[in-house]
Amino acid sequence: MGGFELIFGLVPAILIVIFIISSSVRILREYERGVIFRFGRRANAVFNPGGDGLGPGLILLMPFIDKMVKVSLRTITMDVPPQDVITRDNVSVKVNAVIFFRVLDATKAVISVEDYLYATSQMAQTTLRSVLGQQEMDDLLASREKINEELTRIIDQHTSPWGVKVAAVEVKNVDLPQDLQRAMSKQAEAERERRAKVINAEGEFQAAAKLAEAAEVLARFPLAVQLRYLQTMREVASERNTTTFFPLPLDLFAPLLRAFGDSTAPPTLPKP
């Protein structure tokens, strides 16, 4: 009985030792860093003066004394919810965006702000409304790259004290009101019609210029008119037509026209 009592007495002690060892050993991945607090104070400065957190690898903690907060250093992609924005020319639109950021200093991300993810999201929303409210509607649709750079610069300036680096901010969708969409569609249609008319006018102008050049050539070389006439007759004869037109020069009818004009002229009275 003594042996069994000894074994049953050692089992709780072994369990306590296993619990202590498991609570004092932490393994951090390559993209993770740990911020250790000992009696409420940051203990990383003793082991890591740089302040960017401990890790990666095996981390040993003092049981019941040390508390570690893990922070991921990977790039985080966060959607900014749609925001109601009134542009500088008083157009109400809904705009959403996406923000790419990562933690550079794990210690600042834990100590300087309560929740760096929530804080970065709120900063992105307020900055999005502020920056887009200073833009006109046409600039919002045309100068998207310039607006993205401005958003990135402002948000990164505010999150830098938290140890957070904003890599990029991209405006995703701009939802326009229905009446504005119809107006823009009409404007685009009118612009297309204007371009078509301009192109048609330019074509007519070029065709007229070519016809004028051809008329000058034919005027200098009368034989070319006869050749063109024969070519036209050949083209007409090649088709299966029941009617053939023979153009005749007006010079053949000039005497008849003159005679007809003299006969129809009113009689003139003799001079006194």
- Positions of the chain with pLDDT under 50: 45-50, 264-265, 269-272
pTM strictly above 0.85: no
Q: How confident is the model at residue 45, as a pLDDT?
A: 47
- For the chain, which residues make up each domain, given as ranges? 18-72, 76-176
Question: Residue 132's closest CA among 88, 79, 80, 81?
Answer: 88
pLDDT of residue 270: 47
pLDDT of residue 67: 85
What is the pLDDT at residue 99? 94
Q: Are 191 and 199 in contact (CB under 8 A)?
A: no
pLDDT digits (tens, 9 = 90+) for 189-198: 787 888 888 8
**CATH, domain 76-176, list 3.30.1490.20, 3.30.479.30, 3.30.450.20, 3.40.50.300:** 3.30.479.30
